[in-house]
Amino acid sequence: MKNTVAICVLVAAMLAGGCGKPSADERVNVASGVGSDTLMNNIILRPVAKAFSALIGEGIEVQQTTLRTNDEGFLELQVSGYNRSYSIRRFDYIVEWVDKDGMVLPSKTNVWQPMSVQPKSKFSILSIAPRAEAVDFRMNTRKQPK
Amino acid sequence: MKHTAIMIISAIAMIVLAGCRKPTTNIDMTNDEGKPVIALDYRDFDKAATAMVESLMRSGVLKKKDGSRYVVATGRIINDTMQRIDTDQLMAKVEQEMMNSGQVVMTSAVGGRGATDVMIDEMRNIRDSAQAEEFAGQTLPEKGQLVAPELSMSGKIIQRNIRYDKDTEQIEYYFQLQLTEIASGLRFWQEEKIIGKRGDRRNVSW
């Protein structure tokens, strides 16, 4: 009887503890192992989730691209996304800017740039057009050469 | 008989040794998938220059109030690394992008290492010498024609070697640039880009 009560109290405590989100503000990301364990993210389930994530091949997801013209008349680009995997994702990206005729504007900044994103975290890539003639962009990514 | 055998063995040895040589290949500069190297290579300069240019463009300091273009000179760029680096590897890209942006014009008349084009001084020396008689007078540069720079770009490349563990060395490269208004001495912009590498201690980084 005493054991049953103790187990119930323990489960209740785990549930109560597990209900609390590591961050009350979604703009603040509390990494796994930094915040408190939850019912779905704890020392037992975490390795399973990681293995499952790797199995289904979770990775980078681009969620939004924002273009704006700054005060100097140059286009600025922000590519926002999310790393769905449980591991740090490192990749290279390259941004090319095109003019109104669709011609690529040659630039010394058209080079592969490295990017590194924490697991289960949002990221942003910023770029700026090299000339005021740019009206659009195109971007490519690749796995970083080892 | 013995002499012939030695000749054949020598010939075979030479063929085998020649076959062991690595063939020369061209680097795919656009999609180079080569391994990183412990010293600074062109990819590092590309990354540093791009970060610098994007930061400078984003800062908005190159926009002149009257709509005209700033005249910019490249001042001293110090190579404080253990490698023999021509700092133009960095600055040529930065200067090119600054000019292509249409916001600035670079001057070749003055710079941290003197005029970047010796002919500017050379033609003035000729003008002031007896040699001037050999040239049509109106084709020689007149006095008071050079345009003084309004902004100066200066900077430094720093290297720090740190022992990471028994076999590994960590090398940090700091690329620092700053843009200063010459008349007022005020610094309009500055940026730092760090590139770090870890490798075998036996690898030499110079």
* Nearest neighbour of A128 by CB, restricted to B58, B93, B102: B58
Q: Locate tokens 């690749």: which residue?
A: A142
Question: Given this model, what pLDDT does residue A16 score?
Answer: 45
Q: Locate tokens 């940026």: which residue?
A: B191
What is the nearest CA distance from B104 to chain A, expressed in angstroms?
12
Phi-psi region of B68 (alpha: psi -120 to 50; beta: other; left: phi over 0): beta
For the record, the structure tokens of B151 come out as 């902004």
* Nearest neighbour of A72 by CB, restricted to B46, B50, B63: B63
Q: How far apart are CA B127 and CA B123, in angstroms?
A: 6
Q: How far apart are CA B13 and CA B97, in angstroms?
A: 53
The answer to whether A96 and A75 have CB atoms below 8 angstroms apart is no
Alpha-carbon torsion, ordered B40, B46, B52, B53, to 10 deg:
160
Query: Average pLDDT, stretch B87-109?
Result: 95
Contacts of B97 in chain A (CB under 8 A): 107-109, 130
* Nearest neighbour of B97 by CB, restricted to A71, A108, A146: A108
Is the Cβ pair B34, A145 closer than 8 Å? yes
Q: How far apart are CA A7 and CA A13, in angstroms?
A: 10
Question: Given this model, what pLDDT does residue A146 score?
Answer: 75
pTM summary value: 0.83
Strand-by-strand arrangement of the B151-163 sheet: B104-106, B70-80, B151-163, B168-181, B187-200
What is the nearest CA distance from A12 to chain B, expressed in angstroms?
47
Task: Check CB contact of B99 with chain A, cutoff 8 Å.
Answer: no
Residues of chain A with pLDDT under 70: 1-3, 5-21
pLDDT at B91 over 80: yes
Rounded to the nearest 5 degrees, what angle is found at the Cα of A125, between the Cα atoms of B192 and A26? Answer: 110
Q: How far apart are CA B171 and CA B183, in angstroms?
A: 38
ipTM value for the complex: 0.82
Residues 79-118 on A with a CB inside 8 Å of B are 107-109, 111-114
Question: Given this model, what pLDDT does residue A13 score?
Answer: 46
Q: How many contacts does A have with B, using Cβ atoms within 8 A?
A: 57
Interface test with A, best of B33, B56, B198 (most A CBs within 10 A): B33
pLDDT in tens, B3-50: 777 778 877 777 666 667 889 999 999 889 899 999 999 999 999 999
What's the distance, CA B171 to chain centroid?
20
Is the Cβ pair B100, A74 closer than 8 Å? no
The total of other beta-carbon atoms located within 10 Å of residue A53's CB is 17
Question: Given this model, what pLDDT does residue A37 score?
Answer: 84
* Nearest neighbour of B33 by CB, restricted to A109, A127, A145: A145
Q: Is residue A3 exposed (0-12), middle (13-18) or buried (19+ Cβ within 10 Å)?
A: exposed
What is the nearest CA distance from B106 to chain A, expressed in angstroms?
17
Query: Average pLDDT, stretch B184-192?
Result: 97
Task: Give all strands (DSSP E) within B65-139, no chain letters.
Answer: 70-80, 104-106
Contacts of B43 in chain A (CB under 8 A): 111-112
* Nearest neighbour of B54 by CB, restricted to A71, A109, A131: A109
Question: Given this model, what pLDDT does residue B2 score?
Answer: 67
Is the Cβ pair A145, B32 closer than 8 Å? yes
Between residues B152 and B203, the one the model is more confident about: B152
pLDDT over 90 for what percent of chain B? 78
What percent of chain B is helix, strand and coil (3-state, nearest 5)?
35, 30, 40
Is the Cβ pair A131, B102 closer than 8 Å? yes
Nearest to A97 by CA among A144, A66, A136, A140: A136
What is the nearest CA distance from B33 to chain A, expressed in angstroms?
5
Task: Check CB contact of A71 with chain B, cutoff 8 Å.
Answer: yes
What's the distance, CA A114 to chain centroid?
15
Q: Locate tokens 């916001």: which residue?
A: B103
